[in-house]
Amino acid sequence: MCIRDRQLAGELLHVITHNTILADSLDSDFAGEVDPEMLLAGARSAGSIGLGRACFMVRTLGQFTIYERNARANFLLGAVLGADLLTLKNSSAIRMNPGTQFVITGKPLLREALAVLVSDDDFFSGKVTVTSSEQQEHLAGCGAIAVARERGLVQTLKVAQA
């Protein structure tokens, strides 16, 4: 399975950050760097009180606490990505189990954030691979070739070694 930041989570982050009452609390900007503590706090909040309420907590953090903008943006990022991971774990269509192996792709900050959330979640005991930007450039082609080989559409050429 491939978890990629270009799912609905990315669109939700954009809309919430730029087009809601939370925009002022976030200066209409995303997290600049990962803050694991706030990221995990956001994910836990979304899991226990729901995504909507966790999102509104960003505004509360901005008005009544000393947390800086990047910390608040990480809380939101954790809430949105945490809700996505919860959806994956509970999806009857995906049927993810604790041993499911998957690859995390996408923008560097989102890859790092997902890796933090997954490493903190006991559910994910399968192999988790976080790609580099260079590896991502070739994933679609490699995947297409692997599917074609599996279906017998292409054969592997063996090159004689000298």
> Which residue ranges form the domains of the chain, and what is each CATH number?
2-132 (3.30.420.310)
pLDDT tens-digit map of 106-145 = 889 999 999 999 999 989 888 888 988 888 887 778 778 8
Maximum average pLDDT range among 28-32, 71-75, 100-104, 119-123: 71-75
Identify which has the larger pLDDT, 78 or 156. 78
pLDDT reported for residue 160: 58
Instruction: Enumerate the β-bridge partners of residue 103.
Output: 2, 129
From residue 110, give the alpha-carbon distance in Å to each of 27, 50, 53, 141.
19, 21, 22, 22
Contact in structure between 113 and 40 (CB atoms under 8 Å): no
Identify which has the larger pLDDT, 60 or 92. 60
